[in-house]
Structure 1
């Protein structure tokens, strides 16, 4: 098994993410498959190398993929400090606007039902928009979006143009086994001066991403840049601070030679193992803390859903600030805004410790009943403060 990032010829198995077999799909369903994590001993990249049965199950996940079904097809919103809530794609593209020309051609690779294209249609008025996906399940939906000129499925060779000013890989790269070749292919689609926008989960700030069964790569800031440099890119803008649990890089073609060695130090390697151990110890903490009494999970994202497969008991509620998810159910548990929850709950906070504490403080200040809740916050770690 070769490393997906540095192409090292071997990877080491760390074990199963969680305290019992169970995971989550990237379209927000629980899954009973075990998430087995490997690490490259050279670059430190965390990854999954699935067996045949798991690959077949993942192909079925993609065949019936239902993005954002908990919010009736609407993508998740983010809550930037000092700003009104807005779609994650909108907020990210806003941040990129100063680097982009007034007019151009955008290609969204792995466009799904068009989340990126919806935001681009509103923010990039002078742009021609194109969508690409492996299958044509959402073709009609995407083609109805304002500004979208084409939709292509199957081979990239069928695209209507060979050059684009901006190519977007939105929560797509982590799904691709052996992503170096596809990244290099996308590099060849950029116009001179063009950009590739990549966003993926950040495993250092959300080790819960290891529980997403169809994510084959779990990137840190370092391993993502190693991969992108191997594919011939350099970082034009680092958007890591923009989204609390994601890595965002605006990349351009590099004129520098590819580094010959991608070996990392022992501290970096230990960090990957620490993220795996932190995840398992945090799941154990949450399980032991909820053996008695009513409790809720905060957040209907990947982390919260994964916990439904790990905890001994089922929560009373799933709390979520995104009102698009209000009333949806997972495993029979209703998603509810915090201001409609009951008193005297234990509330599980599946975030990095600092983010969990910040969110808990914000909720306590905004929701009177939260003063009666006991927030269960993970321990900090060297790589996940």
Structure 2
């Protein structure tokens, strides 16, 4: 029996089962085991069966952007300029929150603390605090723009009830025991303190559906219920300031936790996602069959979508390269396949499989001049 991580209702049969005995993690690694996904019809939460030995996985194996302090994920290209995720997150945060008067600000599940680093660089009055479940990022914490307080594995008990703001960037989707973590966050905040966090928006980025270590896929309904039950109020949920994400803020309430119940609104959308991913392998197989048997091809996008395409190919050795505009990925390899800038597409590539969010893929590809000038056929996931 599996219970919903938000409302603890018993979940019905899975709405999706991966078509192979492998899954893909946030780190873009293929691991053994079938992805099984459930939909809670009580609170509209979507939930993935958790990986075995999850605590050890995060403490010992999980890492993100560890190749230097500047290593980051490409958020978008705006007017020809690369905008990286921590840069955009910091800009959104600073536009939403008043961080004057020397606030004590904790990044909970911080990894390198890249976003808080940018915030402190912009506002030296911020007193930075850092926490993660692993100690592997401490070398980045030591050279913060101003000295930071930090803790690994468990937050410092001395922080309890003293913090003005707790931040969390892409952490809650990984955590099965949400009530426990939210209780810790609430205890760390002073009365009326602000909890500000970002989690993926499943409905704006379809890859989130199949990421094996994202055990939680939130909706507006499940976010509101989760926070009210955990003792927060003044809840604001913004789905427009950050692409493919919910930007959420709330405050520590001093009244009794509330129970919010409402009919789910996303059943049809969840079913559409399940159908899309259930048939994706067959579509990719048909597209591969349409390329000349002796031709090589490339995959645009060295993220989850691109890796999924590679895992579906009958002849992955025909992939010449991944194409990606993120300079931190170029020169590396993904599953033994080199990652290059789109301008460096080999001359003998006859087709490009597009491993991007289907909601944006055609728009993005139409702006890549090196592909448009070559007139190489592009195959999209949808």
**Does TM, normalized by the shorter one, top 0.5?**
yes
What is the 5 A alignment of 1:214-253?
Answer: 214-234=213-233, 238-253=237-252
Q: For the Cα contact (< 8 Å) 2:302–2:355, is it kept in 1?
A: no
Pick one of 306, 325, 328 that aligns with 1:324.
Answer: 328
How far apart are residue 342 of structure 1 and its match?
A: 2.9
Q: For the Cα contact (< 8 Å) 1:187–1:253, is it kept in 2?
A: yes
2:352 is aligned to 347
Map Cα deviations across residues 215-271 of structure 1 (whole Å, 9 max, x no partner).
111223433333223323346654422332222223333578755453424x52232
Q: Which runs of 5+ in 2 are unaligned?
A: none
Alpha-carbon separation, structure 2, partners of 1:230 and 1:295: 50
2:157 and 2:258 map into 1 onto residues whose CA distance is: 32
Cα deviation for residue 133 of structure 1 reads 1.2
* Cα deviations by residue, 1:77-104 (Å, 9 ceiling, x for unpaired): 3226448323312212212213222231
Q: Distance in 2 between matches of 1:57 and 1:228?
A: 23
CA distance in 2, matches of 1:235, 1:24: 36
Correspondence list, 1:35-54, <5 A: 35-50=35-50, 54=51
Shift of 1:200: 1.6
RMSD: 2.8
Q: Residue by residue, what CA displacement relative to the aligned partner does 1:345-379 show, whole Å, maximum 9, x if unpaired?
A: 4323334433112111211xx32555422222343
What's the offset of the Cα at 1:145? 2.1
TM-superposed deviation, 1:296: 2.2
CA, structure 1 residues 101+113, in 2 after alignment: closer, same or farther (shift >3 Å)? Answer: closer
Structure 1: stretches of 5+ with no match in the other structure: 380-385
CA deviation profile, 1:183-225 (whole Å, cap 9, x unmatched): 1331232234532221122211222223222211122343333
8 Å CA contact 2:284, 2:312 repeated in 1: no
CA contact (8 A) 1:22 1:309 kept: no
CA 242–232 in structure 1, closer or farther in 2 if over 3 Å, else same: same
Do the aligned partners of residues 66 and 259 (structure 1) sit closer, same or farther apart at CA in structure 2, a change above 3 Å counting? Answer: closer
Structure 1 match to 2:307: 305
Contact 1:94-1:123 within 8 A present in 2 as well: no
Name the residue aligned to 1:296.
Answer: 298
Partner of 1:31: helix, strand, or coil? strand
2:7 maps to 6
- DSSP 3-state at the match of 1:300: coil
Structure 1 residues 358 and 223, CA gap change in structure 2 (3 angstroms)? farther
1:239-278 correspondence runs (5 A): 239-253=238-252, 260-265=259-264, 268-278=266-276
